[in-house]
Chains A and B, each alone.
Chain A
Amino acid sequence: MRGAGCVLFDPIVGEASKRLRREVERLRWSRVRWRTRIRFRESRREGYRQHIARDEHVSTRTSRTKKDGFRPVSRWSSFSSAPGAGVWTPQTLVVVAHQMSNRTDTAAKHANEERWRALMRSAQNGDGKAYAQLLSELLPLLRRVVTHKWPRTLDAEDVVQEILVSVHAVRRTYDASRPFTPWLMTIAARRMADAARRNYARSANETTVDVMPETFSAGDAKLDHEARDEQEDLRKAMSTLPNGQRQAIELLKIQGLSLQEASEVTGKSVTSLKVSAHRAVKAMRQALERKN
């Protein structure tokens, strides 16, 4: 049980309720990072046990419920088998909640760990069914881990798939005498780091804009006067170019000749034409930037 989220609605028990509140305050375990909140509700002392029995006193509240996939389930029933369950004082309640939450949490983790180790051993022996079961059981965990790292990233599922492929590729490195979860999480962490590095490299070449810029070359994509202004600016920029560069631009960019054809027309080498065109474009860009 993830008992850190227990919220106790009690009591009318004066001093005892204060102690209860102090105890529950201490239940803000950093390990699970859940926030607990205590609320008090008017209730009769005699009805206290009945409320417990009706599962109304304990609920689980968390602000991270949806994101992390935790279900806000009342788990009061698990207390019925706890030590001291027959004597429901606030003190025993808190102590038992603490004990049960830790015990069931640890026990569940231990059970998962043992099952995954056994499944992985079977997978290493070539049992495809066990392997499919293992990967299916790991899938929600990996999704949770990845989406926790990147809450709003679209390619989180891609990263999960990369982790699964990596697990498959290096399954021989799992040592059955060692715990399974650290093995898995090391692979997941490395693959997430790789994905982060890749995303960073990709985003370094991207620019975020509020409005997508118009990139159509056709005049009708712009307003008439804008198109006329641009043509005029380009014409002026071209007129300032040296003859060789202007000729290269006219042949290669306006008439659309290939480098070879332009070379035959001008008698210049292909390399020379390339250099001329490059310098011309650079000079025109600078001229337009100066004007703007």
Chain B
Amino acid sequence: MQTEELIGALASNCTPVRPLPHPALRAVAWFAISLAYVAIVVAAIGLRPDISAKLVDLRFATELGAALLTSMMAAAGAFCAGCPGRPPWERLAPFPFLALWLGAIGKGCWSDWAALGVAGLAVHLDLICFPAIVAISILPGALIFVMIRRGAPIAPATATGLAALAAAALAAAALLLFHVEDASIMVLIWQFGSVVLLAGLEALLGRVLLRWPTLQEALAADRRIPP
């Protein structure tokens, strides 16, 4: 097909489209829906018995807040990664909060080491954290995936990785509220580690999950848009 013919074909299929809202608005929308879902899950499972004491603990509150902020900023970064022409630094938005989260856990590890010595850093198998994070993050993950598919796949690995980070960080924050796990090294390995692992795996699948449509797919998508 000659390029001029292609332009004619595209112009004749130029159906009206609604421009995507600002990435920040989409991130807030996703976060609000996902937070409501996670709140229902946590309410159904039940809060940990020492939650009132924990919430006044500065380190725990920092951990929880950083996890929630990481989730929201990662969602914003994922949506920015689907908008051509936006500055790339926007995709780095979640990393300060991720560092804060890691720092809070690291501080806990240091306190455990100072108080208990090597015993404070003992690692044992925790079969709840990873499956729980995966299970809780499935629905928010599916929602954010549907939302980033509406963007342009200009940075597919970054977009899917940040989307998975958003969903997994939210699930990890929920886990902090109902799963009693006070050893920071365990939180570091089984909760923070699960979040990083899921984000990395999803980033590897980015090119498979998000790809540019062919001409036929683009035209078919136009025909599906209601007049």
Answer yes or no: do A and B interact: yes
List of B residues within 8 angstroms of A170 by Cβ = 84, 151-152
Interface residues of chain A: helix, strand, loop or mixed (majority):
helix
Query: Which residues from chain B contact A208 at a C-beta distance below 8 Å?
Result: none
- A36 and B20 alpha carbons, distance in the complex (Å): 46
Partner-contacting stretch, out of B118-126, B132-140, B196-204, B210-218: B210-218
Q: Is A283 an interface residue (CB 8 A)?
A: no
Closest chain B residue, CB of each to CB of A185: B85
A194 within 8 A of B: yes
Report whether B7 and A139 are in contact in the complex, using a CB–CB cutoff of 8 Å: yes
B154 contact from A174, A178, A179, A187, Cβ within 8 A: A187
Inter-chain CB contacts under 8 Å: number: 105
Whether B213 pairs with A126 at a CB distance below 8 angstroms is no
Q: Which of B16, B151, B213, B221 contacts A173 (CB 8 A)?
A: B151
Q: A125-B16, A174-B19 are in contact. Are A169 and B85 (CB under 8 A)?
A: no
Task: Check if B10 sits within 8 Å of A135, measured CB to CB.
Answer: yes
CB pair A169 B151 closer than 8 Å: no
**A window 180-201: CB within 8 A of B:** 182-187, 190-191, 194
| B56 contacts chain A at the CB level, 8 A cutoff | no
Considering the complex, give the chain B residue whose CB is closest to the CB of A142: B3
Among B16, B150, B155, B214, the one with the most A-chain Cβ atoms within 10 Å of its Cβ is B16
**Which residues of A sit under 8 angstroms from B8, Cβ to Cβ?**
132
Q: CB-CB < 8 A to A23: which residues of B?
A: none
Q: Which of A169, A178, A185 has the most CB of B within 10 A?
A: A169
Q: A123: CB under 8 A from chain B?
A: yes
Kindly list chain A residues whose C-beta atoms are within 8 Å of the C-beta of B214: 165
Residues of chain B with a CB closer than 8 A to A190's CB: 84, 153-155
Residues in A neighbouring B223, C-beta threshold 8 A: none
Contacts A126-B14, A164-B6; A173 near B152 (Cβ below 8 A): yes
Query: Does A292 sit within 8 A of B, measured CB to CB?
Result: no
Choose from B13, B18, B20, B152 the contact partner of A166 (Cβ within 8 Å): B152
Contact yes or no, A183 B3, CB < 8 A: no
Q: Report the minimal beta-carbon distance from B209 to chain A, rounded to whole angstroms.
A: 15
Q: Are A136 and B7 in contact (CB under 8 A)?
A: yes
Closest to A143 in B: B3
* B14/A169 in contact, CB under 8 A: no
Residue of B nearest to A180 (CB): B85
* Contact (Cβ within 8 A) A186 B10: no
B84 nearest CB across to chain A (Å): 4
Flag if B11 contacts A131 (CB, 8 Å).
yes
B127 within 8 A of A: no
A57 to B203, CA, bound (A): 59
B interface residues, Cβ below 8 angstroms from A: 1, 3-4, 6-8, 10-20, 22, 82-86, 150-155, 212-215, 217-218, 221
Contacts A124-B19, A162-B212 aside, 19 further interface pairs with beta carbons under 8 A come to A124-B16, A128-B12, A135-B7, A135-B11, A160-B3, A165-B215, A169-B213, A170-B152, A171-B17, A172-B17, A172-B19, A173-B84, A173-B151, A173-B152, A183-B85, A184-B85, A185-B85, A187-B84, A190-B154
| 17 residue pairs bridging A and B, Cβ less than 8 Å apart | A124-B19, A127-B14, A128-B11, A132-B7, A135-B10, A136-B7, A164-B6, A165-B212, A165-B218, A169-B212, A173-B19, A178-B85, A182-B85, A184-B84, A185-B85, A190-B84, A194-B212
- Going nearest first, the 5 A-B pairs with the smallest beta carbon separation are A126-B16, A132-B11, A183-B85, A186-B84, A170-B152
